Amino acid sequence: MELGDRKRLILQAIIEDYINTAEPVGSRTISKKYLTGTSPATIRNEMADLEDLGYIEQPHTSAGRIPSDKGYRLYVDDIMKQKRINDVQQEIIKKEFHETLGEIDRLVKHASRLLSQLTHYTSIVLAPQLRRGGLKHIQLIRIEKAAVLAVIITDAGMVKNSVLRLVHDITPEALQRITNMLNDKLAGCNMEEIESFDLEHMLNHALGYVEIIEQIFPELLQTLVYSDTAEIYRDGLANLLNLPEYNDISKARTFLNTLEEKSILFKALNETKEDINISIGSENQIEQFRDCSLITATYKINGRVVGSVGVIGPTRMEYSKVISVVDCMTQNLSEILTKILKG
């Protein structure tokens, strides 16, 4: 059903006022602040219609209206005018980033911090994932007679490392040979290929090093698998406590608990398939986020998706602003990562 123009304006007014105040919006308020030419009574009639259609709801009889998830959805899809991101903010993102050249980890943490600071909500960021790219290089570095540091570098520029203890001492030459062998076989592979890698086959060609490789390989694999899901950064947890919706301690508690569970955050971020994904309240896959909204977006290296970022806030989120910030952020991230890693 097509909504009349005035209904749309009223819905917009309700949503935007509610986003600002977190208080139910009444007909008088709308008549005074938004549709000055229309009387409260008329607006009341329209509101009754909007409620019938499921776009707004009433917390209790004598209160104003608040938007429903469906209302927010319509707002985001059709009504909201995509605010061009504040130039100042855009400048901040650009500037801050170009100072953080170097370590990818740091860049990603920084992105998370910026997201939460600019939006005043909570940000989560998934660092570049191996599963979404390939293995670039493995370097084994001898740190003790019988201890080796494995440095694993991915296409996406993430570096993982693991200390491996050996049963016997190893010579630098042997180490070099093993390094070469591993790189020959594994460089360019993605996680699936590595996980299903035919170790037996390689061992046949590894005269003299069978024992060492048998010892090293499982640990390398473990490190890869672990780091592929664990690299999640958060920021702005405290921001949420500023919101009136979390005045209820038990709500805040549940929520914080969820945010400490990285596997949940991973799931939320990993589901992002589109460039930008908006989940409003009950639309959320993750049960614990059913009364929040989650804006996620992916970033890319050389056009290939490697990770994602997200902002979590209340359903009365400043969608327009958050979307533009998240968008600007992933674009910058993509750009810089691509630049760092491909020249």
Partner DNA sequence: GTTAGCACTCTACGTTATCGAGTGCTAATT
Partner DNA sequence: AATTAGCACTCGATAACGTAGAGTGCTAAC
Site string for DNA, 147-186 (x = CB under 7 A): ----------------------------------------
User: Smallest gap, in angstroms, from Cβ of residue 116 to its own copies?
Assistant: 9
Paired tokens of 151: 């440095």
Q: Which residue of 235, 309, 320, 332 would you call a contact of its own copies, by CB under 8 A?
A: 235
Work out the burial of residue 235: count CB atoms within 10 Å of its CB; fewer than 13 is exposed, 13-18 middle, 19 or more buried: buried
215 binds DNA (CB under 7 A): no
At a CB cut-off of 8 Å and minimum separation 6, what does 73 contact?
280, 283
Q: Does 260 bind its own copies (CB under 8 A)?
A: yes
* Binding partner of 341, given DNA, its own copies, none, CB within 5-8 angstroms per partner class: its own copies
Amino acid at 67: P
Contact between 342 and its own copies by CB under 8 A: the answer reads yes
Altogether, the residues listed in the chain come to a count of 343
Separation of alpha carbons 84 and 78, rounded Å: 16
Beta carbon of residue 236, minimum distance to its own copies (angstroms, whole number):
7
Q: Is 63 or 101 the residue whose CB approaches DNA more closely?
A: 63
Three-point CA angle 232, 234, 238, nearest 5°: 160
Site residues (CB under 7 A) for DNA, limited to 22-61: 23-29, 37-42, 44-45, 47-48, 51, 58, 60-61
Q: Which residue has the tokens 């200390």?
A: 163
The mark string for 135-174 relative to its own copies (x by CB under 8 A, - otherwise) is -xx-x-x-xxxxx-x-x-x---x-xxxxxxx---------
Q: Choosing among its own copies, DNA, none, which partner's interface includes residue 36 (Cβ < 5 to 8 Å by kind)?
A: none
Sorted by sequence, the CB contacts under 8 Å of residue 306 that are 6+ apart come out as 128, 129, 132, 133, 156, 299, 300, 337
Contact flag: residue 247 with its own copies (CB under 8 A): yes
Q: Which is nearer to its own copies, 86 or 161 (CB)?
A: 161
Tell me: does residue 64 bind DNA (CB under 7 A).
yes
Contact 10, 50 (CB under 8 A): yes
Per-residue DSSP letter, 288: G
Sheet of 159-165, strands arranged across: 135-144, 147-154, 159-165
Residues lying near DNA in the complex (CB under 7 A) are found at 6, 23-29, 37-42, 44-45, 47-48, 51, 58, 60-65
